[in-house]
Amino acid sequence: MLKRKIYDELMKWKETKHRECLLVKGARQVGKTFIIEQFGKNEYDSYIYLNFYQNPQQKTIFEGSLEPVEIYKKISLYLNNVRFIENSTLIFLDEIQDCPNARTALKFLAIDDRYDVIASGSMLGLHYKEMISIPVGYERTIEMFSLDFEEFLWAAGKSQTAIKALEEYYIKQEKVPAGIHEQFLSLLLEYLVVGGMPEAVNTFLRSNNYQDVYATQKKIMESYREDIKHYASASERQKISDCYNSIPRQLAKEYTKFQYKVVSRDGNARRYSNSLNWLVDAGMIKLCSNVSTPQFPLIAYEKPEQFKVYVTDIGLLTSLYGAEAQAALLKNSLTGPAKGGIYENLIFDILTKRGFSLNYFKNDKNTQEIEFLFTKENNVIPIEVKSKNGTTISLNQFMELYAPPYAYKLISGNLGVSGKKITLPLYMALFL
């Protein structure tokens, strides 16, 4: 079984909640159902499971009265061998986006507080207009992603002790021994191709065959296309697919800002902005906005009309380029702007799964671009990402103009320090 960090978050919620349901959101097939089911069976004496996508008839449980006692009665009618044990029962409402009344009922179930309730959904942002009432103050929300790089390392057999030993080189800012460096760079390239979707990772662990992994990724992508057909309006379906399918081309440009004209020749924000928002709400992509000036707080200087689009699982992104491109990435032989965009998405994947809020900086003269900015202790810290070793003109200019306390350059080479500029192997994004 794949070890997931979110299990600890579920335990924390169980131990600290008070009249509060848990809402777990995230893209389809990132492992929400599996981990919550394991949690329910391991940590409670009774586990009750409802799935509104697989069993639409269960939505009638939440029609009419939303009084908890009425809901519990209806659950006992729909499901066999149900046991309600006070303070030791977990009710799991899966695919809750398909039952807006159930989302509304979370408030009343939280106030009742006899049984713990977790809801999960993949398309929650798409149904907000259908909600009678959002249970503000009665639900805690956490976002779940596919496996992050550290979880992938665990799956690949790397112990926490080994990862901590690697982190010591980061802390001491010492060069990593060549053998260890090559080993972790190889694991990073595997993550680049396999990604973190649990089914893809399990396929890789079982077969060690990248063609099998690619076939699994294509199957996942087909399920996403089915979701678009199921949840999107007829007028939006093709536009949503066109936006998503344009991402490999968007990231293959020298400047990877999202451009509507790359989606179609006559593309513009009016035509495609709703489609992009659909993909964000579905958890399939995230946006990274430019800022007018790299100052704290970055959100005050965002330019919402200028943004990059990144896929939320790096393996699904590389699968969009095809199996041959994935093979070239594994051999580190891919060249051209596409490689740079893929590595940008890789670092975005690693950092956002660790909770980073990221922006980027491109000045108005188009003479300077910094791939990512984040804030720490009220300081703006720049990150430059290089798919290969090379000069850092933009980063050097940034350091002169804005004087950050330090700056990071992420490369495929080894660790080094030059003044305030810290050069790190790409895999050490894990420790930032």
DSSP, residue by residue, 388-429: S----HHHHHHHHHH--S-EEEEESS--EEETTEEEEEGGGG
What pLDDT does residue 132 have? 53
Residue 413 located in a structural domain: yes
> How far apart (Å, rounded) are the C-alpha atoms in residues 259 and 243?
10
Q: What is the pLDDT of residues 81-137, one digit of tens each?
A: 999 999 999 999 999 999 999 999 999 999 999 999 999 998 775 544 454 556 777
Between strands 285-291 and 302-311, the pairing is antiparallel
The reply to whether 1 falls in a domain is no
Q: Is the peptide bond before 100 cis (omega within 30 degrees of 0)?
A: no
Burial label, 82 (beta-carbon count in 10 A; 0-12, 13-18, 19+):
middle
Structure tokens at 209: 């065959």
Q: What pLDDT does 430 receive?
A: 97
- How far apart CA 181 and CA 371 sit, in angstroms, is 24
| One domain, residues 230 and 264 | yes
On whether residue 280 sits in a domain, the answer given is yes
Residues spanned by the domain of 287: 149-431
Q: Which of 143, 175, 199 is the last residue of a domain?
A: 143
In a domain, 357, yes or no: yes
Query: Is residue 342 in some structural domain?
Result: yes
Q: In whole angstroms, what is the distance from residue 99 CA to residue 381 CA? A: 43
Q: 311-346 as b/e, with b when 16 or more CB fall inside 10 Å?
A: bbbbbbbbbbbebebbebbbeeebeeebbbbbbbbb
Q: Among residues 119, 143, 167, which one ends one of the domains?
A: 143
Query: In the listed set 143, 173, 200, which residue is the last one of a domain according to the structure?
Result: 143
305 and 392 part of one domain = yes
Q: Whole-structure pTM over 0.85, yes or no?
A: yes
121 part of a folded domain: yes
Asked if residue 110 and residue 155 are part of one domain, the reply reads: no
Q: What is the pLDDT of residue 128?
A: 43
Residues 231 and 366 in one domain: yes
- Residue 374's nearest CA partner among 395, 390, 352 is 352
Q: Domain of 101: which CATH number?
A: 3.40.50.300
Same domain flag for 130 and 273? no
Question: Would residue 316 count as lying in a domain?
Answer: yes
Pairing assessment for the beta strands 46-51 and 89-94 based on DSSP bridges = parallel
- Please write the tens of the pLDDT for every residue from 163-188: 999 999 999 999 999 999 999 999 99
Give the model's pLDDT for residue 125: 59
- pLDDT profile of the chain (432 residues), mean per 10: 96 96 96 98 98 96 96 96 96 95 96 97 62 73 97 97 98 98 98 98 97 98 94 94 97 94 95 95 96 97 97 98 97 92 98 97 88 97 86 91 97 96 97 97
- CB count within 10 Å of CB 264 equals 14
Question: Kind of pairing, strands 379-385 and 46-51?
Answer: unpaired
Same domain, 305 and 368: yes
- 12 located within any domain: yes
**Are 67 and 138 in the same domain?**
yes
Q: How many distinct structural domains can be found in the chain? A: 2
